[in-house]
């Protein structure tokens, strides 16, 4: 039987099963009957369509009910024991290649760090920083080379070290979202530091002394970082190798697997933090005791994270292969002209953002970014900001030339940037109906100029109002926004003449004032909330800026450049400007879909287009029409 015939024959039964399984008041008899039939369909699909998505979908349905039943019967204690006894070791076995890759990246980086220190004695200063090297040299001269571990009291050091180590592990893991390269980069950076650190003590004749002290806690700590790197690589591989799934589905599955591995490192960091806070400081301990602690830690890592996973993997050989269980959703066709509810406006906005962000981002990165870079070079050359690290609000004002940083040059630059992004979004929306293929940048260079000309006066007006009107009038501007935001699509796309497009947008704003205001306000708030991924004003420290970006900038500027604060402020302002333009398409797309919905309601353009295709397309769609 063909796969399409198989799906057509059974899809009603599967849909009924989904509906019943989602209902809180389930019919157990009917559910049981359908469950038996679906498991039979799954067996059939595994035999005849093993690499097709229908097999994945049926497996998802069957396991959904199984997990529902099993969860209700499993206590927290049993779940906890099962995680450490089976789930984590099995996941480590599945991810053994990622674990080996992570270890090799780190190990080679340690060797490179040591060799680099051998070639260039000042390499350790570049990697570790002058302050740490000078402090260690002073401790060596005093006859107490490991005094750094005795500076804080035990409890304070335990908490600070543990929290910092968990943060580093999370950083190594989350960087895996950059197609695994981010995790590999941080593993290499930490490896360089460790290699340079150990070689520094070697040339001082203190290799054994430092080894027996540092690795008391370092055995667990470094191993946990390597394991976190494996978790990041697993997640990144989901993006690199999605297989038959979409990249979003593959990322969801592999991120879950990576998180399970990351959770396994938490106890390691707690014990490592305890050892560093309470044990490592006792440098006078006999070498035998130090060696015993190091050997015991290493034996546990090798035993639990290397040997035991192979035993579990061989025991549960049928479960070794990861079963993909993507969430099945009924897709909605994205079209320009359609009468939309508010929820559908949001759905189409985010679907458009998902489908076309790559094209929009290519313009932002290859066209807008170089211009923004030159603009900020000009800003910082006029007024260097290197005395202190600017707050996010100050960086925002600096990047956009607002408030005390206002200048006509900054205003002109931002008019250009917002014109580029707005015109690019509208141009991408035009591709929904035209379906053009080929290089987007080449197409953009060919077709964007009329839209840039149309967008320029609108952006000039909007930014002029935001920059020049006193803040006390912002509430009035918000209430008047429906009359202005709906002109964006018709004016920029050039549907009709500039005057008619402007008049039509303002007219539609009066026809659906409330819906437009709510849509504009909600999507703007959502875009602002998404910006918290970069900087969270309510939970400082739990964002990419604090966890990732600031750390990376510090590692590569604080020991290299004298004016590192100037460099840090420049990079941060540049990132804020780029992130704002990556979020702007959400707002432009939402108000455009709102306009298109009202326009279709007034003129039935979507219906007319479907009538033109009647008799030429899919018969199933025609019956629905």
Is the pLDDT at 554 greater than 80? The verdict is: no
Specify the pLDDT at position 364. Answer: 94
Two tokens, residue 572? 């941060």
Specify the pLDDT at position 280. Answer: 87
To which H or E segment does residue 488 belong? helix 488-493
Taking only the tens place, the pLDDT of each residue in 4-32 is 778 778 877 777 777 776 665 556 666 66
Sign of the CA dihedral with 121 first, then 124, 127, and 131 last = negative
Residue 127: band (very low, low, confident or very high) from pLDDT cuts 50, 70, 90: confident
Least confident of 87-91, 427-431, 432-436, 450-454: 432-436
Angle at which helix 207-240 crosses helix 181-203, to 10 degrees, equals 170
Is the pLDDT at 328 greater than 50? The verdict is: no
Q: Please state the rounded mean pLDDT for residues 364-392.
A: 87
**Under a CB-based contact definition with an 8 Å cutoff, are residues 95 and 180 in contact?**
no
First to last CA, the chain: 30
Q: How many residues does the chain have?
A: 625
**Under a CB-based contact definition with an 8 Å cutoff, are residues 92 and 309 in contact?**
yes
Tell me what percent of the chain is helix, strand and coil, each rounded to the nearest 5: 80, 0, 20
**Under a CB-based contact definition with an 8 Å cutoff, are residues 261 and 309 in contact?**
no
Q: Please state the rounded mean pLDDT for residues 31-41.
A: 74
Bigger pLDDT: 502 or 364?
A: 364
pTM for the model:
0.54
Specify the pLDDT at position 456. Answer: 95
Query: Position of tokens 């009603």?
Result: 12
If you average pLDDT over every residue of the chain, what do you get? 81
Bigger pLDDT: 190 or 554?
A: 190
Conformation bin of residue 604: beta by default, left when phi > 0, alpha when psi is -120 to 50: left
Taking only the tens place, the pLDDT of each residue in 564-607 is 788 888 888 999 999 999 999 999 999 999 998 888 887 766 55
Selection from 168, 567, 515 nearest residue 384 by Cα: 567
Is the pLDDT at 470 greater than 50? The verdict is: yes
Q: Please state the rounded mean pLDDT for residues 396-416.
A: 86
Taking only the tens place, the pLDDT of each residue in 510-545 is 888 888 888 888 888 888 877 877 776 655 665 677
Is the pLDDT at 63 greater than 80? The verdict is: no
Q: Please state the rounded mean pLDDT for residues 470-476.
A: 72
Two tokens, residue 462? 């909007």
Is the pLDDT at 299 greater than 90? The verdict is: yes
Return d(Cα 498, Cα 490) in angstroms, integer: 8
Return d(Cα 60, Cα 51) in angstroms, integer: 14
Establish how many alpha carbons lie within 13 A of residue 493's alpha carbon, considering only the half-sphere containing its beta carbon. 23
């Amino acid at each position: 039987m063909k796969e399409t015939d198989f799906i057509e024959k059974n899809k009603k039964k599967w849909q009924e099963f989904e509906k019943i399984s989602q209902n809180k008041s389930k019919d157990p008899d009917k559910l049981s009957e359908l469950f038996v039939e679906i498991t039979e369909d799954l067996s059939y699909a595994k035999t005849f369509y093993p690499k097709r998505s229908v097999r994945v979908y049926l497996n998802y349905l069957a396991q959904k009910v199984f997990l529902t039943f099993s969860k209700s019967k499993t206590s927290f204690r049993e779940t906890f024991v099962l995680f450490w006894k089976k789930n984590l070791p099995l996941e480590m076995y599945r991810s053994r290649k990622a674990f080996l890759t992570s270890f090799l990246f780190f190990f080679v980086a340690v060797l490179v760090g040591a060799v680099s220190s051998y070639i260039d004695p000042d390499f350790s200063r570049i990697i570790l920083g002058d302050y740490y090297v000078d402090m260690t040299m002073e401790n060596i001269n005093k006859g107490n080379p490991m005094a750094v571990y005795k500076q804080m009291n035990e409890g304070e050091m335990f908490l600070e070290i543990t929290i910092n180590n968990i943060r580093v592990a999370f950083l190594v893991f989350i960087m895996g979202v950059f197609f695994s390269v981010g995790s590999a980069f941080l593993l290499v950076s930490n490896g360089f530091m460790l290699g340079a650190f150990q070689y520094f003590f070697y040339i001082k004749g203190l290799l054994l002394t430092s080894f027996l002290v540092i690795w008391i806690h370092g055995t667990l700590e470094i191993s946990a970082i390597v394991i976190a790197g494996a978790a990041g690589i697993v997640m990144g591989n989901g993006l690199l190798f999605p297989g038959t799934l979409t990249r979003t589905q593959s990322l969801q599955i592999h991120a879950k697997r990576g998180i399970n591995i990351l959770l396994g490192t938490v106890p390691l960091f707690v014990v490592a933090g305890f050892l560093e806070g309470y044990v490592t400081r006792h440098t006078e301990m006999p070498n035998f005791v130090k060696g015993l602690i190091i050997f015991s830690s290493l034996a546990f890592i090798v035993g639990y994270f290397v040997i035991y996973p192979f035993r579990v993997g061989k025991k549960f050989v049928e479960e070794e292969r990861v079963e993909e269980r993507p969430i099945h959703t009924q897709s909605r066709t994205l079209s320009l002209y359609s009468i939309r509810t508010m929820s559908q406006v949001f759905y189409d906005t985010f679907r458009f953002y998902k489908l076309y962000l790559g094209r929009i981002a290519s313009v932002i990165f290859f066209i807008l970014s170089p211009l923004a870079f030159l603009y900020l070079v000009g800003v910082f050359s006029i007024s260097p900001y290197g005395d202190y690290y600017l707050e996010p609000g100050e960086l925002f004002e600096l990047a956009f030339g607002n408030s005390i940083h206002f200048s006509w040059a900054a205003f002109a630059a931002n008019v250009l940037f917002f014109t580029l992004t707005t015109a690019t979004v509208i141009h991408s929306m035009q591709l929904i109906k035209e379906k053009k293929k080929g290089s987007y940048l080449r197409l953009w260079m060919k077709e964007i100029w009329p839209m840039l000309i149309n967008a320029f006066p609108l952006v000039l007006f909007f930014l002029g109002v935001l920059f020049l009107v006193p803040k006390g009038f912002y509430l009035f501007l918000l209430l008047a926004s429906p009359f202005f935001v709906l002109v964006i699509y018709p004016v920029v796309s050039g549907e009709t003449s500039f005057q008619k497009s402007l008049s039509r947008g303002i007219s539609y704003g009066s026809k659906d004032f409330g819906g437009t205001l709510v849509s504009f306000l909600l999507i703007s708030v959502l875009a602002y909330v998404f910006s918290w991924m970069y900087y969270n004003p309510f939970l400082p420290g739990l964002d990419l800026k604090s966890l990732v970006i600031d750390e990376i900038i510090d590692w590569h500027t604080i020991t290299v450049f004298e004016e590192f604060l100037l460099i840090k402020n420049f990079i941060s302002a540049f990132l804020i400007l780029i992130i704002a333009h990556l979020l702007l398409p959400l707002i432009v797309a939402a108000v455009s879909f709102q306009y298109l919905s009202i326009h279709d309601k007034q003129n039935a353009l979507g219906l007319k287009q479907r009538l033109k295709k009647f008799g030429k397309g899919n018969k199933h769609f025609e019956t629905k029409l």
